[in-house]
Amino acid sequence: METFLESKHLNLISVGEKRYSDSIDYEGLMATSMDSELDISVKEKDLRFIMYTSGTTGFPKGAMFTHRNNLWAALSIIITKKYDFNEVVLFVNPLYHMNSYINVIACIFMGNKMVLMKRFDPIQMMKLIESEKVTMCSVVPTISQRILEISKQDQFNTGSWRYCTSTGAPWPFEMKKAFMEIFPHVVMADAYGATEVFSGTLIQGSEILKKPKSVGRPYVDTIIKIVDDQGTELPPGQIGEIIFYGPHVTQGYYNDPGATAESLKDRWFYSGDLGYFDEDGYLYLLDRKKDLIISGGENIYSLEIENVLLRNEKILEAAVVGVPDDRWGEAVKAYIVLHPSVTMGKEEVINFCQKYLASYKKPRYVEFVDSLPKNSLGKILKNKLRKL
């Protein structure tokens, strides 16, 4: 059977005044549409869409989802975030990002108003929150940083804003704390997950202060385990791979049976992320398996070092990778972006880390750069840093 992607009958539809050659005008298409509904039967196990992964550790893969996956993911978001029928949701991130997509579906289910930004600008975001009476939005840490850099947040009325989620990458605690101080009326939330599972865990409000290093507890209808290399579940406190199970987990990767077999085992999705649960059921994210640095036989988690570096007021962004070392196998290297108009030496960086880290964890090499390589969602591409 011919698939949608193999069809030769695809059309390009133009929205707005700008028209592309050989495209169909959206308004003209709507004017000629039929009033009666099409007689099409859709089953819950039918493929609904393909969402591509961010490709931070390799080439993006197309995760396949059914109508049933879509339904359960939307319900999980609505229940966990306590959506009501009066929400006004601002979309700052691209709509092809999984978090944006599933919140769009949640808004459609609830009949909520959606406000879209063509491109992110912190001042414009504040203006939209005020003028549209926005109640909810999601951001990524790089966007959060730019919002915090605005010196005149108090000139905007953000009283309607009640909930803000950070997704896409770990949100440094100092940044969370600064956000909560500037916007005390907004419930801040940090979400962790993967494209392949829609959603994973969420930590919000006062929980952030009680468990500052945690990424929270599982969403509704999401089951998470920590397992060793043999797939055996580990008890609280022990580090292993994070795996997911639930009605919203992907069906596999499009045209990639090898990657599907590697990531999906008995309907459990193996994320490639390392972490552990505490005794209260809160999850702690440590690193990607591929980003783990092994130096002199010791496991070093880059996220721990990055969080320490970001505590320094001079450092705007930081990324840590392992580089080959003849003596230790691997050594820690830090790539650092400084705030404008400040200076910092390599020894100053290493000495700062020594205050908070064991000696074997502190960076052996430091390189200052103007920017870090990122994808369109703001995720740092460590595979590109390693190639340097």
How far is the CA of 254 from the CAs of 10, 91, 251, in angstroms? 19, 28, 9
Evaluate whether 215 touches 285 at the Cβ level (below 8 Å): yes
pLDDT tens digits, one per residue of 45-89:
999 999 988 665 557 889 999 999 999 999 998 998 889 999 999
Would you list the domain boundaries of the chain?
47-288, 292-387
- Rounded distance between C-alpha atoms, residue 316 and residue 208, angstroms: 22
312-331 mean pLDDT: 91
17 or 313: which leads in pLDDT = 313
The structure tokens listed for 144 are 């959060």
pLDDT at 23: 86
Architecture per CATH, 47-288 = 3-Layer(aba) Sandwich (3.40)
Lowest mean pLDDT among 4-13, 58-67, 141-150, 199-208: 4-13
- DSSP H helices in 87-165: 98-110, 122-132, 141-148
Q: How confident is residue 4, by pLDDT bands cut at 50, 70 and 90?
A: very low
Q: What is the mean pLDDT of residues 3-21?
A: 67
pLDDT of residue 143 exceeding 80:
yes
182-207 mean pLDDT: 90
Topology given in CATH for the domain delimited by 292-387? GMP Synthetase; Chain A, domain 3 (3.30.300)
Is the pLDDT score of 151 beyond 80? no
DSSP SS3 for 206: coil
DSSP class of residue 111? T
The pTM assigned to this predicted structure is 0.81
Q: In which band, very low, low, confident or very high, does the pLDDT at 167 lie, cut at 50, 70 and 90?
A: confident
Q: For residue 35, what pLDDT is reported?
A: 82
